[in-house]
Amino acid sequence: MREKIKNQINKIPLLRSLKVRIFLLLMVMGMIPSYVTRTALLHNYEERAVNVKISEVSNQFKIIANHLLTYNYLRDTSSEVINAELNQISNLYDGRVLIINSNFKVIKDTYGISEGKTIISEEVVKCFKGENTTYYDDKDGFIEMTIPIMDSVTENRGNEEPAQIKGVLLSSISTDTIALTISILQRKAFVLEVVMTILILVMSLAISQFLILPFKKVTGAINDVKEGFTDEAISVPDYEETQHIVDAFNKVLRRMRTLDNSRQEFVSNVSHELKTPLTSMKVLADSLIMQENVPNELYQEFMTDIAAEIDRENKIINDLLTLVKLDKTDGEVNIETIEINALLELLMKRLRPIARLKNIEVILESNRSVQAEVDEVKITLALSNLVENAIKYNKENGWVRVTLDADHQYFTVMIEDSGMGIPEESLEHIYERFYRVDKSHSREIGGTGLGLAITRNIILMHRGMIQVSSIEKEGTTFLVKIPLTYSK
Ligand code: ADP
């Protein structure tokens, strides 16, 4: 339900603005009290004015009722004093007075219309029973009331004996004066309300504009950063909320700067790495050009070196392309259920010739048969890099042992070697692009510094992990752990 209302509100373009919402809220909050106050006051006034009128008129009529008895008016309506009194009071209150005797007969009507008629209305009957009635008709603007004409002696006896009601004074008086006052008040209230509305409107506009200012500052500060990309963090401490926003933005900014720095570093590393083989080729070629009558053997030797440098350049470019592809197609993997034992056997078979050059013994130990959901090409590349490193950074007559194992959730591949090991301070850097412990040695044996970065990328893609432990001059152990079932 709340969602529905929210969606509906968001569909109105104007209501999507916080400023408009604050403005409307202030307007409503300003207008409602003024409307309620006006209505309540006018209603209160009307009620009070009617009550005052009723009590005033009923007192007057009570006095007249007494006079009626004194002058025995119920039997003889010729008394001029009473008639004058009745006319005067009906003129004064702009009303009509009827005197009804105990036979329900109208003996006097100040309008002179109903005299002699019989009136048996509810009010009159009630009044004869001792109940005074008053009725206010606000639509037609009159008050109707009945006053009993009681024997004053009987009346004074109180409740001991029922009062003897000799007749009823039925009157209706106009409330036009009250209505007039109300309409004047209403007009004044309306003018006041219009003035207040204008005041509230102006204030709401100003306040909503003012309250929104810090958010404008946030936008301005963010826009400035977009243009300048300076190092400093932005701050808009006007509200806690705006500070939260800019804090979050600063965090993103820091991450972007770090990314930008590492991108720049990567680009400069790539340029440097690509330039090194080119410089070698240039030196080799120049020295051939500058010499005259170069012997054939020297040509042969230099050209062989140039070809080696071209191979190296090619390898760097290929590794870079692999890395870029892995980055770009993050998550795009070709998953199949693969027998890892067979995969490792094939991999070892391919690498054995390189190991043989240094007379290194390569051993594969499969503790159990393992089937797992992996991208065959990528996992082969990742594990090849590790076994190749174990051979490359090994000593003559050394050994490399690859052990495959699994539990119900993961399979593990451990690659141990008897090589030169990795210094402790280098361990945290080996997965960085182009990082090599010994640059010249690595170059000699054809390393690009990209192998472990590629390997780590592939393993993370499979939601796996890689660990390394090493003792210098003794050897290195890499442990790869990958889930048997692939999850995105
Ligand atoms: P490279 O192409 O230079 O081998 P890698 O990313 O594969 O690059 O490895 C990074 C560096 O880590 C290597 O240059 C090497 O110094 C070190 N390294 C990797 N594996 C081993 C290992 N098994 N034994 C000793 N050093 C290793």
Residues within a 6 A CB radius of ligand 1: 385, 389-390, 393, 417, 419-422, 430, 435-438, 442, 447-453, 476
**Of the listed ranges 156-165, 295-304, 348-357, the one predicted with least confidence:** 156-165
Rounded to whole angstroms, the Cα distance separating 82 from 165 reads 19
In a domain, 249, yes or no: no
CA atoms within 13 A on the CB side of 277: 21
CB 54 within 8 A of CB 145: yes
Is 268 a domain residue? no
Residue 310 token pair: 């071209």
Same domain, 2 and 76: yes
258 lies in a domain?
Answer: no
Range of the domain at 430: 336-483
Extended strands (E) in 102-205: 106-109, 133-137, 142-150, 165-174
Highest mean pLDDT among 75-89, 142-156, 219-233: 75-89
Confidence of residue 445 (pLDDT cuts 50, 70, 90): confident
Structural domain contains residue 370: yes
Does residue 257 sit within a domain?
no
Containing H/E element for 414?
A: strand 410-417
**204, 65: one domain:** yes
Q: Based on the domain organization, do 349 and 396 belong to the same domain?
A: yes
Tell me, in angstroms, the distance from the centre of ligand 1 to residue 430's CA: 7
pLDDT in tens, 233-282: 888 888 999 999 999 999 998 898 888 888 898 889 889 889 989 999 99
Coil, helix or strand at residue 29: helix
Same domain, 179 and 40: yes
Mean pLDDT value across residues 340-347: 96
CATH number for the domain harbouring residue 375: 3.30.565.10
Report residue 415 as tokens.
């690659």
* Same domain, residue pair 324 and 340: no
Structural contact between residues 387 and 351, judged by C-beta atoms closer than 8 angstroms:
yes
For residue 442, the CA-to-ligand 1 centroid distance in Å is: 7
pLDDT number for residue 152: 56
CATH number for the domain harbouring residue 135: 3.30.450.20
Q: Please state, for a pLDDT cut of 90, what percent of the chain lies above it.
A: 61
Q: How close is the Cα of 424 to the center of ligand 1, in Å?
A: 13
Strand locations in 57-121 (E):
95-101, 106-109
**How many domains does one find in the chain?**
3
Same domain? For 217 and 316 the reply is no
Q: Are residues 365 and 397 in the same domain?
A: yes
In degrees rounded to 5, what are phi and psi of residue 23?
-60, -50
Q: Given 222, 248, 263, which residue is the final one in a domain?
A: 222
Q: Are 362 and 345 in contact (CB under 8 A)?
A: no
Same domain, 216 and 347: no
- The residue assigned the tokens 């500070």 is 243
The answer on 288 and 433 residing in a single domain is no
**pLDDT score recorded for residue 154:** 47
252 lies in a domain? no
Q: Do both 280 and 423 map to the same domain? A: no
Do 68 and 104 lie in one domain? The reply is yes
Same-domain pairing of 293 and 426: no
Summarised one tens digit per residue, pLDDT across range 364-393 is: 999 999 999 999 999 999 999 999 999 999
Query: Is 478 contained in some domain?
Result: yes
Which amino acid would we find at residue 213? L
Q: Give yes or no for a contact between 450 and 323, defined as CB atoms under 8 angstroms apart.
A: yes
Measured CA to CA, the distance from residue 429 to residue 417 in angstroms comes to 19
466 C-alpha vs ligand 1 centroid, how far in Å? 14
